[in-house]
A = this chain, B = another copy of it.
Amino acid sequence: MGVQENVQKPLDRLAEALSPEMEAVNALIRQRMSSEHAPRIPEVTAHLIEAGGKRLRPMLTLAAAKMLGYAGPYHVHLAATVEFIHTATLLHDDVVDESRQRRGRPTANLLWDNKSSVLVGDYLFARSFQLMVEPGNLRTLEILSNAAATIAEGEVLQLTAAQDLRTDEGVYLTVVRGKTAALFSAATEVGGVIAGAPADQVRALFDYGDALGIAFQIVDDLLDYGGATETIGKNVGDDFRERKLTLPVIKAVARATPEERAFWSRTIEQGDQRDGDLDRALSLLSRHGAMEAARADALRWSATARTALANLPPHPIRDMLSDLADFVVSRVA
């Protein structure tokens, strides 16, 4: 990110470069989150969608399309599709995780109830499919419906894998590609497809989104065990308390002594957690260099994302996407 103090963050620069398109996306989102019959739908959706999320995923679609010369209008529909899929998964995730806070506000399942979150999430999924049909492009339909299946599969896999010490880095990667990277890579890929880009450029966009999403999730998992100076809207150790086996722990388990393995088994597999266990976990992560190793992985994925961009034509937006790949890991760099 360089040494300049006044440099705009890459996401803000992207938002500026894509400002008219993002306004169109936001208008479309507001229009499609309405419901003729059920006022609870826009209430619940607005609570989440207007909570100041970064709109990172729809911006990726707009960026990819614009960078490759597409003048519209259907990148707007695809971007809104991506944001609706993301919002639907957040509503369902908060039910599954029994979360009480999201983006610094009470979750919808807490303010209303699980029923509303499940059914409004279903509505947004359906809305996303209506939106993705409108461009009339079968290839983008394939990509987005495949992504939706990969997301759900990753979430189900996480249900069983997250509390099983046999979960290795390969399984972790499958979960992360599902729960996070699949939507990033679909977001960038459909932007290229709707722009009519050649296959190698579409592939480069997929690779960029995939690697960016993986880096993003590893950083999220690292921040959960601290190491961040900024506020991240959640507490250190949430994943530990929720018994989620993330990359740092997987690395520490792989290097654990039998006695340490018993500790992880008790706290993560059996969920028997006592005072001081989080401190013990943090000290094991440190002892085995697990945080540093996970951080190195994140940096490698960030580099992979930047490398993929080399296959795309020079463009100011390409440079912003490159900076974005740096920025995503800057919170742990």
Contact = CB atoms under 8 A, between A and B. Distances in A.
Contacts of A35: 153, 156
A38 B133 contact: no
The A interface is mostly helix, strand or loop, or mixed, namely: helix
B127 A149 contact: yes
A95 B118 contact: yes
A119 B142 contact: no
A148 interface: yes
Interface string A135-156: 0101001100110110111111
Given A40-B159, A159-B40, A174-B37, A145 B118 contact: no
Integer count of this chain's copies in the complex: 2
B159 A145 contact: no
B114 A92 contact: no
Interface residues of A, number: 44
Interface in A58-105: 89, 92, 95-96
A99 to B, nearest CB: 12
Interface of A: 35-41, 89, 92, 95-96, 114-116, 118-120, 122-123, 125-127, 129-130, 133, 136, 138, 141-142, 145-146, 148-149, 151-157, 159-160, 174, 178
